[in-house]
Amino acid sequence: MKKTKILAVLTGIMVSVPFGARAAYPVYNPQQMARQGYVINNYPQQQNAGYSGNVQPQMVGRATNITTQQIVAASAVNGRPVVTNVGATSPNRITGALPRVGSSATNAGRQYYQSSDYDRLADSGLYIGVSAGYSTMIRGQMSADYAGQENSFFAPGSFRASDFNSDSVIPMQVSVGAAINSDVRVDFSYLRYTGMSYASNVQTSTGDGYTDATVSGGAITSNSTMLNVYYNIDSFTGNMMGGQLRPYVGAGIGLSLNTIADYVVFDNSFYDETNGLGPGSIQAGGLTAISDVYAYHNGGTMENLAFQLEGGVTTSMNDGLKLDFFVRYANLGKVKTSGSIIVSQTEWLSDGAGDEYEAPYDSVFHYTNWFESGTLSSLDVGVRLRLEF
């Protein structure tokens, strides 16, 4: 007997739950209502004041003379909700952020955000981008690969490593890419660096030490093409600035073409060729000294493997425009000369009377396969404008 009562109570609860849920959120089946004698009037879709959706089919009563006003009055007496709209058997699911509840003279009920409103920083489709930056640090040194050669000091160069000169280096980049999904995008970019050069002052070898020399020319340019992948990391960092900024990281790899223009190293030292014995120790017409040495280094172009690392934040503008504020490290590989050096120097000759004079001819030498090289990298800050299609 107790089991029968318990079973009856559970059956009553299970039967009453759907009716309770229907009272709170009614979903009506038009076919079932038609079998019960209701008439469903399908009005044309029209905008209803105070409701942001379309008017749905309306139930006007059973197939008798019952009017809508009678149904409303009867529902009020019975404490049941007034049925004004008939929902679909499988209601549509609305995606996006949680609804904002509110009402006004023109907008009543719930207002739903679309997914694009919720994730307006998400990347989508193809895009083109243009960026400008500023190199906060140029890293790299030039040194003479021929420093170990015999009599290499006769071809002045940077026998001690010398840092590159850099003026206002503003790297420019153009990229074309596409979003794989809302978190990953891939692009192909062209990046160009100018405003760098060989060092203005170097330490060149004297054979038994080093002396200062000056340099003119030697402008350096780098052109690189890279395949880059970027990943949004807001799932790890959380929203920034209330969702106005989306942080990301990226990496790229490709090829760089580094070019150094011709340059001249000038050494104004006076080199004694008499081992300290003086011009009188040398017969007339013999070489006593060398001075004013000019070394004309032919520039060169070298192709290298290059890579870059980037981190930054993205913000959105109107009409599919996005801005990336970034910090980038670019390793551009090696800069290297062609190995050809032409040396011009002034020679001094003994007059045979204990004095010396400047030679009346030009003394020129040509060295080949004597290279100077150095690595090149840059740390940049910049902004990229991207237009999505």
Confidence check: pLDDT of 116 > 50: no
pLDDT score for 338:
96
Closest CA to 340 of 303, 375, 376, 295: 295
Confidence check: pLDDT of 156 > 90: yes
Structural contact between residues 130 and 322, judged by C-beta atoms closer than 8 angstroms: no
Higher pLDDT, 117 or 185: 185
Can you tell me the distance from the alpha carbon of 372 to that of 202, in angstroms, rounded to the nearest whole number? 13
Can you tell me the distance from the alpha carbon of 345 to that of 177, in angstroms, rounded to the nearest whole number? 55
| Average pLDDT of the chain, as a whole number | 79
Can you tell me the distance from the alpha carbon of 20 to that of 78, in angstroms, rounded to the nearest whole number? 15
pLDDT tens digits for range 223-277? 999 999 999 998 788 777 767 889 999 999 999 999 999 999 999 999 999 988 9
pLDDT score for 330:
97
Query: Residue 88, exposed/middle/buried by CB under 10 A (0-12, 13-18, 19+)?
Result: exposed
Confidence check: pLDDT of 22 > 50: no
Closest CA to 264 of 149, 181, 155: 155
Higher pLDDT, 123 or 149: 149
Alpha-helical runs (H) found in 25-149: 30-35, 68-78, 115-118
Can you tell me the distance from the alpha carbon of 248 to that of 386, in angstroms, rounded to the nearest whole number? 15
Confidence check: pLDDT of 102 > 50: no
Can you tell me the distance from the alpha carbon of 87 to that of 40, in angstroms, rounded to the nearest whole number? 12
Can you tell me the distance from the alpha carbon of 158 to that of 129, in angstroms, rounded to the nearest whole number? 40
Confidence check: pLDDT of 44 > 50: no
pLDDT score for 208:
85
Least confident of 149-153, 200-204, 294-298, 379-383: 149-153
Structural contact between residues 324 and 131, judged by C-beta atoms closer than 8 angstroms: yes
pLDDT score for 103:
44
pLDDT band at 308; cut points 50, 70, 90: very high
What's the predicted TM-score (pTM) here? 0.67
pLDDT score for 68:
57
Residue 12 has phi, psi (to 5 degrees) of -65, -40
Q: What percent of the chain has pLDDT over 90?
A: 57
Structural contact between residues 299 and 263, judged by C-beta atoms closer than 8 angstroms: yes
CB atoms within 10 A of CB 286: 16
Q: Where are the domains of the chain?
A: 2-93, 122-388
pLDDT score for 96:
45
pLDDT score for 61:
43
Domain 122-388 fold:
Porin (2.40.160)
CB atoms within 10 A of CB 65: 7
Query: Residue 147, exposed/middle/buried by CB under 10 A (0-12, 13-18, 19+)?
Result: middle
pLDDT tens digits for range 68-82? 566 556 555 555 555
Q: How far is CA 133 from CA 109, 138, 193, 232, in A?
A: 49, 13, 10, 21
pLDDT score for 161:
93
Least confident of 9-18, 46-55, 312-321, 379-388: 46-55
CB atoms within 10 A of CB 327: 14
Bridge partners (DSSP) of residue 251 are 229, 309
Closest CA to 144 of 163, 164, 159: 159
Q: How far is CA 348 from CA 194, 205, 272, 286, in A?
A: 42, 20, 9, 8
CB atoms within 10 A of CB 252: 24
Structural contact between residues 12 and 20, judged by C-beta atoms closer than 8 angstroms: no
Structural contact between residues 213 and 246, judged by C-beta atoms closer than 8 angstroms: no
User: Average pLDDT, stretch 350-354?
Assistant: 92
pLDDT band at 58; cut points 50, 70, 90: very low
Closest CA to 172 of 317, 336, 335, 328: 328
pLDDT score for 362:
85
Name, in order, each residue with C-beta under 8 angstroms of 102's C-beta and a sequence gap of 6 or more: 111
Q: How far is CA 112 from CA 191, 297, 318, in A?
A: 43, 70, 21
pLDDT tens digits for range 176-227? 999 998 889 999 999 999 999 999 999 999 888 999 999 999 999 999 999 9
Mapped onto helix, strand or coil, the DSSP state of residue 272 is strand
Can you tell me the distance from the alpha carbon of 29 to that of 35, in angstroms, rounded to the nearest whole number? 10
